[in-house]
Amino acid sequence: MQDGAPPAIVEKLSCAWRQGSPSPGLGHLTHNPQVAGNALFVPGEIALLLDPDGKRFLVRLAERDSLHHHRGAVHHADVIGQPEGCRVRSSQGRFFTALRPRLLDFVLDMPRRSGIVYPKDAAHLLAWADIAPGQRVLEAGVGSGALTLALLRAVGERGLVMGYELRADFIELTLANVHAFAGVQAGNLLLRERDIYTGIVDTDLDRVVLDLPEPWRVLPHLPGTLRSGGWVAAYTPSIIQASQFVDAVRLTRQYVQLETHEVLLRGWHIQGLAVRPEHDMFGHTGFLSVARLICEPA
């Protein structure tokens, strides 16, 4: 069900967003083209520096910059031109290791002004909603772009992520985060400044991923926009929201394979005889509900 209104594309964005269609000239978030494969570190890219204790520091490499650390300064110039995995000496002679950050290292470090979907939940969502290369995925709301980054990578350069977001400042933050990670604007991303509760202007969607307060209000808009056989996923911090979403899904009698999950990730400390779970873990993040649209109500 579409409301027929023209998409309100936020101003101040690159021409790709203003035109409302992704530009083939832009990069894609499958990788940073600057740093693909085993290329040497170059100025401007983000490096992950591990200190002698294995603690992580993200830096954007610049010839004249340094990481100031209590174990000495690490000069970026010593990293630039080196391969990933190289060890560099700090001004105090201590060794640091330079690597490219995983997407999750970046996401946990990037600026955020909303709650985010944590990597453990994003990974689970990618599997259970079966997000794959080439798909057209609608996401709402976009927030700080943590989940957007995971979706962009999953759909690859032949796919498209369409993000609906109420707030222009969140759209700009997401664009900034995507750009910071990829080094380019992603050509497989289209952001719309819209209230998704009022309707969906895109069609032929393979997947719809919801992270907003009332995901059940999106359900009336899915037949006709989400293709039959496509998955809808709702990430909700509260089980009351999950329950309301699941009830609403069931009421339509138009979905199958309805499931709700919570992902508990527990790290283990393994050192000699000290083999035990880590003391700290994320006690709670959110619940994921997924369901699959069928042709007509059963």
What does the binding site for ligand SAH look like in residue numbers (CB under 6 A)?
A: 114-117, 140-141, 143-147, 164-167, 170, 195-197, 211-213
The CB-side HSE value for 49 (13 A sphere, CA atoms) comes to: 28
Q: Strands of the chain (E only): list them.
A: 46-50, 56-60, 66-67, 74-75, 87-89, 95-99, 136-140, 160-165, 189-193, 205-210, 226-236, 255-262, 268-271, 274-277, 287-293
CB of 215 to ligand SAH, least distance (A): 10
Report d(CA 90, CA 118) in Å as an integer.
32
C-beta of 146 vs 178, nearer to ligand SAH: 146
Q: Are 179 and 148 in contact (CB under 8 A)?
A: no
CB of 211 to ligand SAH, least distance (A): 4
Contacts of 92 (CB under 8 A, 6+ apart): 71, 72
CB of 193 to ligand SAH, least distance (A): 9
C-beta of 79 vs 290, nearer to ligand SAH: 290
C-beta of 19 vs 198, nearer to ligand SAH: 198
CB of 51 to ligand SAH, least distance (A): 28
Sheet of strand 87-89, all strands in order from the earlier edge strand to the far edge: 56-60, 46-50, 95-99, 87-89
Q: Of all residues in this chain, which one has the CB nearest to ligand SAH in the complex? A: 141
CB of 216 to ligand SAH, least distance (A): 12
C-beta of 61 vs 218, nearer to ligand SAH: 218
Contacts of 18 (CB under 8 A, 6+ apart): 9, 11
C-beta of 3 vs 278, nearer to ligand SAH: 3
C-beta of 85 vs 220, nearer to ligand SAH: 220
CB of 81 to ligand SAH, least distance (A): 34
